[in-house]
Structure 1
Amino acid sequence: MGAHVIDLVMLKNNFGTAEMREIWKDTNRLRQHLKIEGALAQAEGELGIIPSAAAQKIQAATQTTTNYSVEDIAAEAARIKHSFMATINAIQKEAGAAGEYVHFGATTQDIVDTGAMLQLKQSYLLIRKEVQDIIERLAKASKSYQYTTMVGRTHGMQALPTTFGYKLAVWLDEFGRHLERLLEMKDRVFVGNLNGAIGSYASFGPQGIEVEKRTLELLELGVPTISWQSARDRFSEYASVLALISGTLGKIGNEFYNLMRTEINELEEGFSKGKIGSSTMPHKRNPAAFEGLASLTPAVLKSVALIHESMHVEHERDAMSWRLEWIALPEINIYVSAQLASLKAILGDLRVNEAGMRTNLERQQGLLLSEKVMFEVGKKLGKQTAHHLVYECAMQAFEEQRLFAEILLEQPQIAKNYTKAEIEAWLVADDYIGLAAEKVDQVIAHLKERKLLKEQG
C-alpha cells in the first residue's frame, strides 16, 4: 500500500504507468547500484587495481537482486544513518572474502548519480517511444480531418474558420520538435560519473580516468570530461525537455476539455458502456480523460522547478541539492508517462462531432466571415474604409441578433457595389480556411524529411 498518489492502489494508474513505476521502484534502483558496483569491480580487475579473482566474485554477487532484501538494507540504513553504506555491506557479505574490494575507490555519490542516470536512460527510452507513437497518431488524425471545417477561436471567442486537421497539425509540429530535442540531448545527458570523493580520482590512483572510462563503457553511458558532482545541468536539461512535452500535453487536454463543453459540443472523449460521470447526476458524461491529461502539467512543472533548484550546490557537493533530485526525477517521469499514455488512448477513441462544428460555424449568422467581407469590400472602397463599414454592420448584426448578410445589404455603399449573391458567397465558411489544409501536408512532409515520422500507409 502506498502513501503517495503514484503508489496508491486505487489512484496510481491515473498518475503513471506500470512500466514507468517499475523503473523508479526500490528494486530497480538497487539493481542499478549492483550493476554499477559489478562494472566497477570488472574495470578495476582488468586494470589490475584489485585482484582479478575478487573482481569476478563481486561481479557474481551483483548479477541479480535475488539474494538482497530491500527491507533489510533499508532497516540497516536507518540504523547507521547513511543512505548507501548498508548496500555496500550487503554486497560485501554476498561476495565473501572478495567483499574487501567492493566499492574500491568510489564514493556514494558516484554510484547513486550513475544509478540515477541508468534509471533516467530507461525512462527516456519509454518516453521517446511514446512521443514517436503520438506523432504517428497525430499525423494520421491531421490528415483525416484536413478539410473538416471548424471555428477558430482567439481570446476564447469565435475568430475565423479553420480546420480540425490544422489544429492537430500545430500540435504535430510541436511534437516533432519535442522528439528532436529528445534525440539531440541523448549523448549530452546520459553520462555517468565515477571519480571519487571530490572528483579528483585520488582514491583510484593514476589509473582513475581509465577506471571511470571502462566502467561507464560497460554500463553503456557516456564518459564525462570532468566530474559533474557539483554540476547538475544534465538533470535540469532532461527535466526541461520533459517540461516542454508536458506543457504541450496539458494544453491539448485543456483544449479538448473546452471543445467538449455542452455549449460547444465539438468533441467527446471515448465513452464505453457503464462509464459513470457523476455519483449524483446520472446524465453526466464528463471529460475525465481530458481533465486527467491537463491536470498533471502543473505537477510536472513544480517538480521541474525542484530540479532547477538542485543546480545550486555547496562547494564540491552536498546532500541538500541531491535530495531534491530524488524527489523530483521519479515524479516527472511517472507523471509524463501517464500523460503520454492518456493522449494515446484519447486519440485512439476521439469522437469528433462534425455536426456540432457546423452548428458553431453558423452560430453567429455570418459574423465569422467579417474579415472576408472586409477584404472583398476593400477591393473597391479601400481596406480601411471597408473596415469601418463592416465594423458598423457587424456590431448592428450582433446587437440586433440579425443575419449579417441582411445588415450588409442595408448598408448603402456596400449595397451599391455588390449583389446579394456576391455577399452570400462571401459568407461560406468552407471557402475561407486559407491555406490550413495545405499546411497539414507541409507539416507531415517536413517531419518525414527530418525522419521524425514514418511513411503513412
Structure 2
Amino acid sequence: MSFIFDGFLTTPEAQDAFADRQFVGAMLRFEAALASAQAAQGLIPQSSADSIIRTCKVELFDVPKLVRESGPAGSIAVPLVKSLKDAVGLFNPAAREHTHVGCIAQDVVDTAMVLVTRQALMLIETDLARVVQVLLVLARRYASTPMLARTLMQPASVMSFGLKCVGWLAPLVRSQRRLLTLSQQAMKLQLGGAVGTLAEMGVHGRAVAQHMAQDLGLLTPESSWQSQRDEWVALGCELGLLTGSLGKLARDIALMSQFEVAEVAEPDHLERGRSSTLLHKRNPVGSMVALAAAQRVPQRVAALLQSMAGEHERSLGHWQVELAEWPQLVMATHGSVHAMAQACEGLRVDPDRMYANLAAVQKTMPSDIQTAWFSAHLAQHAADQVERQISALDIPL
C-alpha cells in the first residue's frame, strides 16, 4: 500500500502496526494459539499442534501473494489458511487436517485486528499522556497570565492563558480515561465457529477459548462477538471523540499563531513548517495534521456505526466495511495525537503579545465597558478556576 498522500498524516509506527506483514503475523499467532489450546483439550494430537506452531512463522509465507489472493476469496484468512495447511502438510501430512479446526475466517481476522490494534493503542496512549502532561504544566505556569477571550471569532473579555490550556486539557483527560476502559473491554478474543456457538468443539469450546485468550493476552468473551460489534465500535467512537478534542486544540493554536495575533507558535526547529516559496513563513504543521484528522475521522466513525446493522449471525459486506475503515481510523488518531504532542512540547508562548492584543482592544472601548470587562481582577478570577478545574480532573503526577 502506498502512503504517499496520507503518510505524513499518521506515523511510521502506526503504519507498521497495520502493515500487511504484521497483520498476517497476528493471524498466525491466532492459529498457533488455537492449535496449542486444542491439543491441551485433546481435540487434536500434540504432534499435530507442534507442527502447526512451528509453521506459524510469517517469514515462511509470501505475504504479497496472500494479499493478491484475498480478493477472489473474499477474505485474507482464506488463502492464509490454505497456505498454512499446505505448509504444515509438507512436514507432517497427518497434521494438515488438524489445522484451523472449528473456527472461521472472521475468528482469525477479528482476533488479529485486536492484536495489531492493541499495539497501535499503546502508541496513542503514550502520546496522549505527553499532551496531557505538557498542557498541565502550561496551565499552571500561565494560570494568571491575562489574554483576550474570543467568542464567535470576535474579541470578548479577559481570561487567562492558563484557563485556555485547561479548556484544552480537560476533554483529553476524560478521553484518556474512557479510552483505557473501552480498550480493556474491546481487547477480546474472537472465537465463535460457523454461527458463533463453538458447536464444532463440543464441550471443549469454552476451555479452548480461555486457553487461547491467556496465550494471546486477551480477555475471554462471554460469547462470540461476530455480530455483537458494540464494544468494538464504542472504542472506535472514542477515537473519534479524541481526534475531535485534538482538533479543537489544533484550531485554537493555529488561530493564535497567525502573524497578526502571534500569541503562541509551534516549534520551528530544523525544517519544520518551512514554506518552499515564502521563506518567512513557518506553517503550524502539527495543527495541520490534527485538523486533517478531525476532518477525516468522523466519516470513519460513521462507517463503523453504519456497519453495525448487519444481517443475522454473520453479515454480508458490513463487516468488510468495518475492516477497511478501522486501520485508517486508528492511524489518523495516532497521527493527530503524535503531532499535537510535538507541537505542545515545543509551544512558544508570548505573554507580552497576549497583553498587547488585549490592550489594543481595550483602548477602543468606552470606559464603562473597560471597567466591567477588562479589569485586571478577571485574570485572577480565571487563575482561581484553573486550579479548581485541575483539582477536579485529579490527574496523577
Name the TM-score, length of structure 2 as normaliser: 0.92
1:311 matched to 2:257:
no
Given that 1:276 and 1:285 are in contact with CA atoms closer than 8 Å, whether structure 2 keeps it comes out as: yes
2:26 partner letter: Q
User: Which secondary structure state, in structure 1, belongs to the residue aligned with residue 157 of structure 2?
Assistant: strand
Aligned to 1:65: 58
User: Which secondary structure state, in structure 2, belongs to the residue aligned with residue 159 of structure 1?
Assistant: strand
Aligned to 2:353: 356
Aligned CA distance change for structure 1 residues 206 and 445 (closer, same or farther; 3 Å): same
* Within-5 A mapping of 1:76-225: 76-78=69-71, 82-96=75-89, 97=93, 98-225=95-222
1:55 partner letter: A
Equivalent-residue separation in structure 2 for 1:139 and 1:254 (angstroms): 19
The alpha carbon displacement at 1:125 in A equals 1.9
Aligned CA distance change for structure 1 residues 344 and 77 (closer, same or farther; 3 Å): closer
* Within-5 A mapping of 1:340-419: 340-366=337-363, 404-405=366-367
User: What is the CA deviation profile of residues 42-80 of structure 1, one whole-angstrom value per residue up to 9, with x for unaligned ones?
Assistant: 110000000111111111211x31111102323444565
The alpha carbon displacement at 1:341 in A equals 0.9
Aligned to 2:12: 18
Aligned to 1:433: 379
Aligned to 2:40: 46
Pair member with larger Rg: 1
Taking every aligned residue pair, what percent have the same amino acid on both sides? Answer: 27
Aligned CA distance change for structure 1 residues 167 and 92 (closer, same or farther; 3 Å): same
Equivalent-residue separation in structure 2 for 1:276 and 1:306 (angstroms): 33
Aligned to 1:27: 21
Equivalent-residue separation in structure 1 for 2:50 and 2:384 (angstroms): 63
Higher relative contact order (CA 8 A, sep 6+): 2
1:35 partner letter: R
Equivalent-residue separation in structure 2 for 1:260 and 1:169 (angstroms): 18
Number of matched residues?
393
Aligned CA distance change for structure 1 residues 93 and 52 (closer, same or farther; 3 Å): same
User: What is the CA deviation profile of residues 347-387 of structure 1, one whole-angstrom value per residue up to 9, with x for unaligned ones?
Assistant: 12112122221111112235xxxxxxxxxxxxxxxxxxxxx
Q: Which moved more, 1:73-82 or 1:45-54?
A: 73-82
Given that 2:145 and 2:379 are in contact with CA atoms closer than 8 Å, whether structure 1 keeps it comes out as: no
Aligned to 1:294: 291
Give ranges in structure 1 of 5+ residues lacking alignment. Answer: 367-400, 409-422
The alpha carbon displacement at 1:205 in A equals 1.9
RMSD (CA atoms): 2.2
Given that 1:235 and 1:307 are in contact with CA atoms closer than 8 Å, whether structure 2 keeps it comes out as: no
Aligned CA distance change for structure 1 residues 234 and 427 (closer, same or farther; 3 Å): closer
Aligned CA distance change for structure 1 residues 279 and 143 (closer, same or farther; 3 Å): same
Q: Which moved more, 1:11-20 or 1:222-231?
A: 11-20
User: Which secondary structure state, in structure 2, belongs to the residue aligned with residue 364 of structure 1?
Assistant: helix
Aligned CA distance change for structure 1 residues 102 and 189 (closer, same or farther; 3 Å): same
Aligned CA distance change for structure 1 residues 209 and 187 (closer, same or farther; 3 Å): same
The alpha carbon displacement at 1:148 in A equals 1.3
Given that 2:139 and 2:386 are in contact with CA atoms closer than 8 Å, whether structure 1 keeps it comes out as: yes
Name the TM-score, length of structure 1 as normaliser: 0.81
1:265 matched to 2:262:
yes
The alpha carbon displacement at 1:431 in A equals 2.1
1:453 matched to 2:396:
yes
Equivalent-residue separation in structure 2 for 1:284 and 1:318 (angstroms): 51
Equivalent-residue separation in structure 1 for 2:370 and 2:298 (angstroms): 49
